[in-house]
Amino acid sequence: MEKPIALACRGITKTFGRVVANRNCDLTVYKGEILAILGENGSGKTTLMNMVAGIYFPDAGQIFVNGEEAVIASPKDAFAYKIGMIHQHFKLVDVFTACENIALGVEDEGRFRLSDVRKKVIEITQRYGFIIDPDKRVADMSVSEKQTVEILKVLYRGADILILDEPTAVLTPQETEKLFAVLRRMREDGKSIIIITHKMHEVLSISDRVAVLRRGENAGTVNTADTNAADLTEMMMGQKVELNIERSEPKNPTERLKVSNLSAVNEEGRPVLTDISFTAYSGEILGIAGIAGSGQRELLEAIAGLQSVQEGSIEYQDPKTGKLEDLRDKNPIQIRDLGVRLSFVPEDRLGMGLVGNMDIVDNMMLRSYQKGQGFFLHRKEPRDLAQTIIEDLQVVTPGASTPVRQLSGGNVQKVLVGREIAAAPTVLMAAYPVRGLDVNASYTIYNLLNRQKENGVAVIFVGEDLDVLMELCDRILVVNAGRVTGTVDGRTAKKDEIGLLMTKSHENVAGEGEQ
Amino acid sequence: MSKTESKKRTPFVHIVKRDPASLTWYHKLLVRGVAIVAALLVCGVLITLLTGKNPIEVYGSMIDGVFGSSRRVWNMLQGVAMLLCVSLAVTPAFKMKFWNIGAEGQVLISGLACVATMMFLGDKMPLWLLLTVMTVVSILSGMIWALLPAVFKAYWNTNETLFTLMMNYVATQLVAYFLKVFVKDGSGVLSPMDQYGLPVIGGQAYLLNIILVALITVVVYIYLKYSKQGYEISVVGESENTARYIGINVKKVIIRTMLVSGAICGIAGLLLVGGTNHTISTTTVGGRGFTAIMVSWLAKFNPLYMILTSALVIFLEKGAQQVSTDFRISSSISDIVTGIILLFIIGCEFFLQYRVVIRKNRKENA
């Protein structure tokens, strides 16, 4: 079945300084198909699409829309060619309703009437089966509703080519299914949909064809029906990769960290953690699953002594003496001075875990610079540590004195995780440690966590990819809106079951403003 | 939009970020050299157009104004030393991203404290004790002037830029008040109390200042680069979240750093008043507190580079003064020249970080 070509990129090249984002990249999208763009991080997926959407301008190459060469120098040009992109980070005005946001920036002929906009929005929603209240304010919306508004915004402007940049990263499995249903209906309607993702199973379930990018080049485009996860991964990596995470049985687990009835509020006084209780054992990986922003960050920060706590206790049991220490209301230095070896890989690597403008050596000292007598810094130990980490974890860097900001995402994370593990922790907390990492780097991190687990460390792993959580973790704690909604066994749990827990509202909560 | 015309609509210029490692030191030197030459050319054209003078003679007079005699050289060195001292003072705060634009006031208030000490205690104690008291009092008042905005910033997150700016006016008015009340003849001009000045060494009035500032430069450099406190300043400046994460007490670091900043301002005040002027007026600091911001930024907060940047600023300033006298042209012309040269020097940083790509034929481009 030969369909007309909607969009074609020919020989697109884009560089940022020394970094080549796309090199001589070709891509073809037909009318009425869903094309998945698959690639590791830094393989140039988003950059390529940004050029189609008019955010960047290619250094070289041509873009054809419906067979005609197009020069797309701005998002406005892109819309003129009926191309719309839904970015990973939403660009909505919080105090406006869905309709108002959709109407924003559209320059229609004639008088502007919000009621006309509303009519048109409702028509679009019915046509594709969106579920949204057009008069709801964005501030009151869930993440998936906001995403719906972004998609509507693009459709409202009459886009025939839709680009979605990792749309499922913020969705639960159930919401993802709904989104996919909508996308399929759009495909039936003759629209071309490009979906950027790195989740293999989604690629296989939604797309008609898959374009694989590797190091900025198109490594091949295949029909989804003719391929499988292993082949796609091989195309992505350029080599065969073993995609199994080893999971050993926990060895004589003992209680290491016991959190009881923990409650905390944020700076505005809204509750972010409510009555959280759980225990982390030595020699096991405890996963924490939940929609982004359900209190995962606050929970880890509360344990690490960065988030003030209103109620509850955080008890740490010393593995040698068996002594119990209460970590509540202690800052990171006090916790360390108690002899608690608590390592923490925060979500925001360059904004919290590391200092981007400092070199690897100076970043190694972040947690330990106060060690040693006197007024001056001791850089010898961190310098040695930096060398060890660069060698052991194969960090790709010009040297130990390179600012970490200049490293790629995976190497930044190796530096951070390496440092935290080098502190020989007894509790290791990691928040989204593989976010934005390519397959190879992700597996390096999983292996590092597993090795820590085998060494008897209590590992707490906050993740977003349920498949990974279910493969890696011994137990999974599910949170929603700052509450624990359930704990499941990582070996036997079903994805649907976790998905339901992720959205389950607590019986006692009578309208927190969130649904 | 019609599609036929769109083919040629590639943007004419677009700007591409450079890879920081792609430039070697001689490239950088070259870009900066070209900027200075270009600035001199532009100024030359401008001077000829506006005044009809020969630009080469004008530049000659500039150089003459700075290096023409040993007195001029000493003047220049003193100027560099004082500007450098204030620049060193603002640098720790700036490195912490605490926008202290109150160095002017911090220096002035310590100068006031110094002058008051000379006036009221000068005849009551031996000179060595007086000098000690002057030093202590100057440094303390600089610290107090810096401490106020720091405390408010640390505990109530007030805007330090506005706060420090306002403190400048308070200091200026205090000096004006002091002169009004304590200058007996009512002229508002305090005659120098040379007998209570800091000692003159080597027969050169400015030598002590220059040596002390050189010393402070090295100390600040080491403090920022090799001390634990300097490290904390960098971390807080780069990311408060990281500071929290590793358990740095951010409030404490803000206050401590501003105390350091204020103390160096205090030394600047001491050197200006106790070391050089032996009197005070509302314009004693002469805008150094603001120029210092530029010096510090131009040097990317590196105390050693600041020697160069402050020398450049002083060279332009002193040279321009000479040009005005030699050619009897309005001092605004020399201000224009100074402005153009600085604009080019600062502007060339853009070309060190970005590349401008001009539209070319598509085939060439590939």
pLDDT (0 to 100) of residue A322: 83
Of the partner residues B1, B245, B366, the one whose CB lies closest to the CB of residue A80 = B1
| pLDDT greater than 60 at residue A510 | no
CB A464, CB A432: distance < 8 Å? yes
Per the listing, tokens 């991964």 go with A233
A141/A11 same-domain check: yes
Asked if B363 has any chain A CB less than 8 Å from its own CB, the reply is no
Beta bridge partners of B358: B13
Considering its fold, how many domains does chain B have in total?
A: 2
Spell out which residues of chain A touch residue B14, defining contact as CB-CB under 8 Å.
57
For A:129-158, CB contacts with B below 8 A are none
Q: Which of residues 38 through 57 in chain A touch B, CB cutoff 8 A? A: 57
CB neighbours (10 Å) of residue B124?
9
* Residue B225 forms part of a structural domain: yes
Do A441 and A332 sit in the same domain of this protein? Answer: yes
Whether A84 and A11 share a structural domain? yes
Q: Specify whether the backbone of A456 is left (phi greater than 0), alpha (psi in -120 to 50) or beta.
A: left
Q: What gap in Å lies between CA A63 and CA A66, rounded to an integer? A: 10
- A16 vs B10, B17, B239: nearest CB: B17
Q: Domain of residue A277: give its range.
A: 244-341+425-510
The contacts of residue B182 (CB under 8 Å, 6+ apart) are B119, B190
Among A237, A256, A279, the domain boundary falls at A237
Residue B66 lies in a domain: no
Assess if residue A346 is contained within a domain: no
A366 touching chain B per CB within 8 A: yes
Q: Do A17 and B17 touch (CB under 8 A)?
A: yes
Three-class SS of residue A197?
strand
Same domain, A225 and A90: yes
B216 and B361 in a single domain? The answer is no
Q: In which residue ranges of chain B is pLDDT below 50?
A: 1-8, 362-366
Choose one of A383, A407, A423: the last residue of a domain: A423
A376–B227 CB contact, under 8 Å: yes
Tokens of B85: 């001292």
Q: Which chain B residues have a beta carbon less than 8 Å from that of A398? A: 21
Residues A480, A405: one domain?
Answer: no
Assigned domain for A132 exists = yes
Strand order in the sheet with A19-30: A19-30, A5-16, A60-65, A68-70
Average pLDDT over residues A246-258: 88
Dump pLDDT digits (tens) for A361-400.
999 999 888 887 888 998 899 999 999 999 988 888 888 8
Same-domain check for residues A103 and A27: yes
Pairing of strands A161-165, A34-39: unpaired
Q: Do A366 and B235 touch (CB under 8 A)?
A: yes
Helices (H), chain B: 25-51, 55-67, 70-95, 103-121, 127-156, 160-182, 207-226, 228-238, 240-245, 250-269, 288-298, 303-327, 331-353, 362-365
Q: What value does the mean pLDDT take over residues A411-420?
A: 91
B132 and B201 fall within a common domain:
yes
Instruction: Name the DSSP letter for residue A359.
Output: B
The reply to whether residue B362 touches residue A60, judged by beta carbons under 8 angstroms, is yes
If one compares A422 and A3, the residue with the highest pLDDT of the two is A422
Nearest to A73 among B9, B21, B22 (CB): B9
Determine contact: A34 vs chain B, CB below 8 A: no
Q: What is the pLDDT of residue A260?
A: 93
Domain check: are B289 and B347 in the same one?
A: no
A194 and A136 within one domain? yes
Judge if A229 and A248 occupy the same domain. Answer: no
Q: Is residue A63 part of a domain?
A: yes
Residue B275 DSSP one-character state: I
Based on the fold, state whether residues A193 and A291 are members of the same structural domain.
no
Contact criterion met (CB < 8 Å) for B10 and A59: no
d(CA B266, CA B260): 10
Which of A19, A69, A356 minimises the CB distance to B7? Answer: A69
Give the number of other CB atoms < 10 A from CB of residue A157: 16
- pLDDT of the residue at A477: 95
Q: What are phi and psi of B315, to 5 degrees?
A: -55, -45
In terms of domains, do B20 and B146 share one? no
Q: Does B361 touch chain A (CB under 8 A)?
A: no
pLDDT in tens, A77-102: 898 899 999 988 888 898 999 999 99
The last residue of a domain, from among A181, A214, A237? A237
Provide the CATH number for the domain around residue A463.
Answer: 3.40.50.300
- Amino acid, res. A484: V
pLDDT at A434: 86
In a domain, A153, yes or no: yes
Higher pLDDT, A512 or A70: A70
Task: Name every chain B residue with its beta carbon within 8 A of the beta carbon of A347.
Answer: none
Q: What is the DSSP letter of A81?
A: T
Q: Which residues contact A345 (CB under 8 A, 6 or more apart)?
A: A353, A413, A416, A417, A420, A428, A429, A430, A431, A433
pLDDT attached to residue A514: 40
Same domain flag for A406 and A453? no
Domain count, chain A: 3
The reply to whether residue A362 touches residue B241, judged by beta carbons under 8 angstroms, is no
ipTM of predicted assembly, 2 dp = 0.80
Chain B residue at shortest CA distance from A376:
B227
Instruction: Answer yes or no: do B352 and B284 share one domain.
Output: no
Question: pLDDT class for A506, splitting at 50, 70, 90?
Answer: low
Instruction: Tell me, yes or no, whether A336 and A358 share the same domain.
Output: no
**CATH number of the domain within which B233 lies:** 1.10.3470.10
Nearest-by-Cβ selection for A332 from B7, B18, B245 = B245
Q: What is the pLDDT of residues A464-475, one digit of tens each?
A: 888 889 989 999
Domain that holds residue B119: 71-323
B217 with B362, same domain: the answer is no
pLDDT band at A437 (very low <50, low <70, confident <90, very high): confident
| Distance in Å, alpha carbon of B95 to nearest chain A alpha carbon | 12
Structure tokens at A10: 């020919």
Contacts of B231 in chain A (CB under 8 A): 362, 365, 369, 377
Q: Which amino acid appears at position A117 of this protein?
A: V
Per cent of chain A over pLDDT 90 is 41
Q: Pick B246's closest partner by Cβ from A61, A69, A332.
A: A332
A286 and A145 housed in the same domain? no
Residue B8 confidence (pLDDT):
45
Evaluate whether A345 touches A420 at the Cβ level (below 8 Å). yes
Residues in chain A within 8 Å Cβ distance of B2: none
| pLDDT for position B10 | 58
Q: For the segment B314-330, what is each residue's pLDDT rounded down to a tens digit?
A: 998 888 888 888 888 77
- The amino acid that residue B323 corresponds to is V
Asked if B228 is an interface residue toward chain A (Cβ–Cβ < 8 A), one would say yes
Q: Which residue of B has its CA nearest to A80?
A: B1
Domain-embedded: residue B236: yes
Residue A347 lies in a domain: no
Model confidence pLDDT, tens digit, residues A210-227: 999 988 888 889 999 998
A345 CA to chain B: closest CA distance, Å? Answer: 10
pLDDT at residue B21, as a whole number: 64
Alpha-carbon Rg for chain B, nearest whole angstrom, is: 24
Distance from CA of B238 to the nearest CA of A (A): 7
Q: Is the pLDDT of residue A499 over 80?
A: yes
B238·A18 Cβ contact <8 A: no
Contact B20 A17 (CB under 8 A): yes
A515: in domain: no
Q: Which residues of chain A are within 8 Å of residue B11 when distances are taken between CB atoms?
A: 57, 73
Q: What is the pLDDT of residue A144?
A: 85
Whether residues B305 and B354 fall in one domain: no
pTM to 2 decimal places? 0.78
Residue B156 maps to a domain? yes
- With CA atoms as reference, the chain A residue closest to B20 would be A17
Q: Is the predicted pLDDT of residue A306 greater than 80, yes or no? A: yes
In a domain, B3, yes or no: no
Does B302 lie in the same domain as B164? yes
Residues B313 and B341 in one domain: no
- The rounded Cα B63 to chain-centroid distance in angstroms is 22
> How far is Cα A138 from Cα A149, in angstroms, rounded to an integer?
9
User: Nearest-CA distance from A351 to chain B in Å?
Assistant: 6
Q: Are residues B129 and B148 both part of a single domain?
A: yes
Residue A60 within a domain: yes
Q: Is residue A154 part of a domain?
A: yes
Residue B355 in domain: yes
Examine the domain organization and report whether B357 and B308 are in the same domain: no
Q: Are A319 and A339 a contacting pair, CB within 8 Å?
A: no
Q: Is B9 on the interface with A (CB under 8 A)?
A: yes
Say if residue B109 is in the same domain as residue B224: yes
Contact (Cβ atoms closer than 8 angstroms) between residue A389 and residue A420: no
A18, A344, A352: residue with CB nearest B22 = A18
Minimum CA–CA partner of B364 in chain A: A60
